Structure 1
Amino acid sequence: MSKYLVAALYKFVRLEDYAALRAPLLEYCEARGVRGTLLLAAEGVNGTIAGPQAGVRAVLAHLRADPRMADLSHKESWAAEMPFYRMKVKLKREIVTMGVPDIEPESMAGTYVEPQDWNRLVDDPQVVVVDVRNDYEVSIGSFAGAVNPHTASFSEFPDWVRRQSQPGGVLSGKSRVAMFCTGGIRCEKSTAYLRTQGFDEVYHLQGGILQYLEDMPSEDSRWRGECFVFDERVSVVHGLAQGSYGLCRACRQPVSEQDRLSEFYVEGVSCPRCHDKHDDARKERFAERQKQVGLARGRGARHVGVPPAHTASPAPGRQD
């Protein structure tokens, strides 16, 4: 039976005193047996925590006791094993890195669209639908007809917008843009950025892909493929059931069933994407790590640095 509550959270809100919040928040979490990672920045808070139900709920209440975070929302799941080794509260310039100063998602984000209204919006031929996730995430699934910016990191997104706003680009002359991401945090920032660039009607999917897959019956869905998630399930499908993808421990990218049949796939060491990107010495280290993982599993133990398989739900706040 699952006994650890996992809470993924984020909120864009001005926290000018964020550095002063770090030590008391860390102490509060540790005193209640809560572990995970929380990011604090002047633009807000973002992270995933886990622990005894009472402890996690106490931390959430502690955050909401600050009037600036009174309406903080979170997503819950349960884990049979503690998915984190320690509690970390980190100070950052941004809670999700875009690299553009003075973006204010708390006041400038686009219009939220509920999952039940999303199909009607994206079916409109006048709307440009943009997937703001990274290329390796898009590669395993997306909404039908969505534009893939082919970015390796979120910080590349503003440059893509600038290029595609030029004559001939997919955004050129367009005023209606719908955007989506895994859990919502990247969409809030990207829609705010587009509004600063003069786009009049910018929308984003409330709750992200995960909420859509949870709420939308598969027979009515515009989603195609699977959704990459930042936990040991690797991917999910409708109903948030576990998907078919595994994870390459060398490059941290998803591997399909076909990838795992490749001569270049060695569990924990390489996959078709990265087999030629690491030298022999590094591959030897990966192989030794995988050997230790196997030995730990054989003892029924958990190897440091490898989370328990398929226990926690995705953390759209921190990783998204």
Structure 2
Amino acid sequence: MSDAPIVNLSGYRFVHLDDLPAIQSAMKQAFSEVGLQGSVMLASEGINVSIAGTREQVTAARQWFDQDPRFADLWLKESYSADVPYRRLRIRRRTEIIAFDGQDSEKLQARRPPAPSLAPETLCQWLDESRDMTLLDTRNDYEIVSGTFPASTHLNIKHFRNFKVAVDKALAEGRLDRDKPMVTYCTGGIRCEKAAPWLLEKGFREVYQIEGGLLNYLQSCGSRHWEGDCFVFDDRVELTPELQPTGAGLCDHCQLAVPAGTECRCQLGRH
């Protein structure tokens, strides 16, 4: 628990939703009434939540989720900040809660076998042991600049939509091995919920995902085996391994995190 007054909640759930306009309207009214800010994505395949407010406000949000059996006990990761890292409340309907498959997302996700989760402490132990495995970073290239596991394999993608093509390329180049155990990771876990089952479908023999994503790993294991900070998709931009804002800003041109009081290197190159 932190002394910071703002609680940030993030999480997701894959669950069939067939009344998206009604959910959107009810949630917008309930969250607006208590003054919450942030972003919620709704799709027929589920919900993706990133919201922030005072302890009283986020408690009201949890109570709202719990009154709907589809969202009851929704696992929402907590972190803390001095200010709300969102400028308004946005609740949007989309084809997917994270872009990957397109129109057939719910059907394709349902037919894929789920990949097992790996506790952060178990991954830390495997890294301690220098276990022979592929640690696959499923994030975008600009996120990786902020921080990563040095032992990772990176796909150099600009957007998660490019993940499948990048995996095919890495296989052709011999940078990925279907027979080697693989652990996938992303910031909060939602991208790996898509990527890991697809990798199993693609013929990779043994695929895991970090339980709760990087944020859960950093909270559980700190900076062990991790180098740098963690990029996040809100106004905090970057978090330290202790999950505290670094004070970085975001470059409008290249999306890189920029230390406070400095100019992005892409802008320096324009002079």
- The two structures have a TM-score, normalised by structure 2, of 0.84
For residue 124 of structure 1, what is the aligned residue in structure 2?
131
For residue 222 of structure 1, what is the aligned residue in structure 2?
225
For residue 56 of structure 2, what is the aligned residue in structure 1?
54
Could you tell me which runs of 5 or more consecutive residues in structure 1 were left unpaired when the two chains were aligned: 266-270, 281-320
1:90-239 equivalences under 5 Å are: 90-100=92-102, 101=105, 102-104=107-109, 108-122=113-127, 123-125=130-132, 127-166=133-172, 168-218=173-223, 221-239=224-242
| Distance in 1 between residues matched to 2:265 and 2:52, nearest whole Å | 34
Would the aligned equivalents of 2:8 and 2:78 in 1 still touch at CA under 8 Å?
Answer: yes
Instruction: Describe the superposition over 1:205-257 as per-residue Cα deviations: whole angstroms up to 9, x where unpaired.
Output: 11222222222154xx1112222223444333332244485432444312358
Would the aligned equivalents of 1:103 and 1:189 in 2 still touch at CA under 8 Å?
Answer: no
Would the aligned equivalents of 2:39 and 2:49 in 1 still touch at CA under 8 Å?
Answer: yes
| Distance in 2 between residues matched to 1:96 and 1:112, nearest whole Å | 19
Helix, strand or coil for the counterpart of 2:153? coil
Q: Which amino acid aligns with 1:118?
A: L
RMSD: 2.8
Helix, strand or coil for the counterpart of 2:39? strand
Q: 1:105 to 1:165 in 2, by over 3 A?
A: farther
For residue 258 of structure 2, what is the aligned residue in structure 1?
255
- The two structures have a TM-score, normalised by structure 1, of 0.72
Percent identical pairs in the alignment equals 31
Instruction: Describe the superposition over 1:60-109 as per-residue Cα deviations: whole angstroms up to 9, x where unpaired.
Output: 22223222222311022344444434322100011111235344279733
Q: 1:25 to 1:234 in 2, by over 3 A?
A: closer
Would the aligned equivalents of 1:12 and 1:106 in 2 still touch at CA under 8 Å?
Answer: no
Q: 1:105 to 1:81 in 2, by over 3 A?
A: farther
Q: 1:90 to 1:77 in 2, by over 3 A?
A: same
Could you tell me which runs of 5 or more consecutive residues in structure 2 were left unpaired when the two chains were aligned: none
